[in-house]
Amino acid sequence: MRSSSATEMSPRRRGISRARARETLTGLAFIAPLLAGLAIFDLGPLVATIGESFTRSLGFGRSEWVGIAAYLDFFVDPVALGAIVNTLLYSLGVLLGIPLALLFAEALNRKGLRGRGIYRTLYFVPVITMTVAAAMVWKWIFNGEYGILNAALAVVGIDGPYWLTDRATVMLAMVIVGVWMSLGYNIVIYLAGLQAIPTDVYEAAELDGAGWIRRFVSLTVPMVSPTTAFLSVTTMISSLQMFDLVYIMIGPTNPAIDSARTIVYMFYETGFIKQDRGHAAAIAVMVMLFILVIALIQVRLQRRWTHYEV
């Protein structure tokens, strides 16, 4: 919107502003149900959580004020630091699925590819699969004794590890599932991005003698960079909140839990097993700040490499 519009229209300003006020009120009335829902179900609990984070729960709704003790704890607790490292490792691992998704999208976008619909459906199935169900199946795939993965490795003479109970491999295993689950969604978004690129650019490049790789690197990659930026931010935000894979595939008695515990899983342990809601609230607030900071950094960084014009 141009900033000069108000002055240009100054002669009829009063009339406009009355109409504007009406319009604003009507608009507000339309979003009121949503706004009310937001206030009751999101903002209210957010404020309550922040308030609770300064307390220690004594059970059954009773609590005592402890100030910022839980926050100070968070920075010296080796378990919390381990959880931060694990969460970051997992998120970075899942981010690596984005270039992979671009390659798949490029392949699926080929003209004249047979059974394109089937491929697209196949890649999208993991996205609509319940995480719990997927995690249960992957838990069996990774099983050290009877897992299909180790059976496959055995065929080529590799003695596979106990993927989920070995500290060295547990994070890799979770990242594989994370990438598998996010791949389909990323491919669909990339396909939309690819289809928005005008074909004449490619035709020009082809005339100039650019090969497939050259066109992909110099045209496709920069042209879909807004999509890449969007995907990296959303992937990061969802990966930083990962909980279900640890809950289903790992669990509290697993010898590799220290290499798998994410911040949100730590939140669950604190709030629901140790039953300290106050401390858990502080962890939740830290997760929120953590995600905010990382998302801001990402948005900043992407300005340097994203092309928003064709």
Partner 1 sequence: MNIPARSIPALGVVAVALALGGCSTPEESGTTLRYAFWDESQKAAMEQLARNFEDDNPGVSIEIEATPFAEYFTKLETSITGGSGPDVFWINASQLPRYAEAGVLAPIETDDVSWEAYPEAIEKMFLVDGTHYGVPRDVDTIGLWYNKAVFDAAGVAYPTSDWTWEDLKQSATALTDPEAGVYGIAANFDSQQSYYNTIFQAGGYVVSDDGSESGFDDPATQQGITFWTDLIDAGLSPTLSQMTEIEPFDMFLSNTVGMLYAGSWNARWMYDDEAIRANVGVVELPAGKVEATVLHGLANAVSSASSNAALAEKFAAYLGSAEAAEFIASEGVVIPAYEGSADQWVASMPDFDVQVFVDALEFGVPWPSTPTTATWEVVEVDMLRPVWAREISIQVQGPKLAEAVDEILVGD
Residues forming contacts to partner 1 in the complex (CB under 8 A) are 58-62, 143-146, 162, 164-166, 251-255, 257, 269, 272-276
Minimum CB separation from partner 1 for residue 49, in Å?
16
Minimum CB separation from partner 1 for residue 162, in Å?
5
Name the token pair of 258: 């220290």
| CB-nearer residue toward partner 1: 49 or 298 | 49
Element (H, E) at 64: strand 62-65
User: What amino acid occupies position 221?
Assistant: V
Minimum CB separation from partner 1 for residue 29, in Å?
16
The CB-based long-range contact list for 165-172 (8 Å cut-off, 24+ gap) reads 165/254, 165/255, 165/256, 166/256, 167/255, 167/256, 167/258, 167/259, 168/259, 170/250, 170/254, 170/256, 170/259, 170/260, 171/86, 171/89, 171/90, 171/93, 171/259, 171/260, 172/93
Cα 101 to Cα 60, 96, 107, 129, 233: the distances in Å are 47, 9, 10, 18, 15
Minimum CB separation from partner 1 for residue 70, in Å?
15
Minimum CB separation from partner 1 for residue 180, in Å?
20
Minimum CB separation from partner 1 for residue 62, in Å?
7
| CB-nearer residue toward partner 1: 236 or 257 | 257
| CB-nearer residue toward partner 1: 24 or 275 | 275
| CB-nearer residue toward partner 1: 60 or 308 | 60
| CB-nearer residue toward partner 1: 99 or 252 | 252
Under 8 Å between Cβ of 135 and 249: yes
Angle, CA of 73, 75 and 78, to the nearest 5°: 85
| CB-nearer residue toward partner 1: 44 or 198 | 44
Exposed, middle or buried: residue 26 (CB in 10 Å: 0-12, 13-18, 19+)?
Answer: exposed
| CB-nearer residue toward partner 1: 11 or 78 | 78
Minimum CB separation from partner 1 for residue 256, in Å?
8
Length of the chain: 310
